[in-house]
Amino acid sequence: LGGTVISELAGFVAATYMRGVNCVQCPTSLLAMVDTSIGGKAGIDLPQGKNLIGAFKQPKTVIADVATLQSLSPRAFASGMAEVIKHSLIADSDLLQKIEAGSWVQTAGELQQQASELQALVAQAIQVKINIIQEDPYEQGRRAVLNFGHTFANAIERLSGYEIRHGEAVAMGMVAATRLSVKLGLCPEDLLARVEMVLAEADLPTRIPATLDAEALVVAMSSDKKKRAGKLHFVLIRDIGDVFVYDEVAEPAVIETLQELTI
């Protein structure tokens, strides 16, 4: 019962204690509801990087009660919206239009939306992840698209000393991934503008703090667990619902992208 840290820790313990015991996830944050409590990944951070220790452990049941979201701070709610928005960009559905049409900014102790509307949004975001995981439970292929923005985000979190929240870093990472996609000629510039707008409307950052050096971020990415055969795998985007893994990105393009986003 709790947020993302509890979800990850409980899943990891359940996977390892007595070689595995049942786990019921009761997430109380938006980020935990749409991300960490579902999918069966349980990871622990190390000083060298995020989620470098972990296991796959599918929960026996997940019980997500959106009424608990009233307890969140505006910043924590916005952090969860980053993953909802990520799912809307990955999926070829009307989820993104629903987000754009509504107001999904939280005020302290009060939900701005009707509970039924929020419940429907959360359920749809969860279903996006479920559909992908059922196809690829152990991330051998398709599931990797759920890491959209995360190669950048994990480095941003780590170099900020985790002062930047996961969802905030994911928001910055999705902008960086989309901008890199534009730079490589893979997607139109108007898609980047749309991504930045929907994130900004959810009170999420779209630029990287100047305290985080672009070259240092690239070095931090080199310890990313998604690195294979000496190459970083970036999840890039062509269009809404057309997200894919790409590993032929030259380092100067990555550094240039990060420098353009630094304020």
Tell me the pLDDT tens digit for each residue of 66-121: 999 988 999 999 999 999 999 999 998 899 999 999 888 887 667 667 888 999 99
Average the pLDDT over 54-74 and give the result: 92
The stretch 147-169 carries a mean pLDDT of: 95
Q: Quick check: 24 pLDDT over 80?
A: yes
Q: Global pTM?
A: 0.92
CA-based nearest residue to 120, from 138, 142, 139, 104? 104
**pLDDT above 70: residue 131:** yes
What's the average model confidence in pLDDT over 48-70?
Answer: 90
User: What value does the mean pLDDT of the chain take?
Assistant: 92
* Tokens coding 22: 């049942």
Residue 28 DSSP symbol: -
Report the alpha-carbon distance of residue 186 to residue 34 in Å, rounded. Answer: 28
Query: Residue range 51-62: average pLDDT?
Result: 91
Report pLDDT for 248.
85
Query: pLDDT (tens digit, 9 = 90+) per residue, 207-246?
Result: 999 999 999 999 999 876 555 556 778 999 999 999 999 9
User: Looking at the chain, which runs of residues are DSSP E strands?
Assistant: 24-25, 41-46, 49-56, 61-62, 234-239, 242-246
Asked whether 18 and 56 are in contact (CB, 8 A), the reply is no
What is the C-alpha separation between 249 and 262, in angstroms, rounded? 20
Where is 134: in which H helix or E strand? helix 115-135
Q: Can you give the pLDDT at residue 182?
A: 97
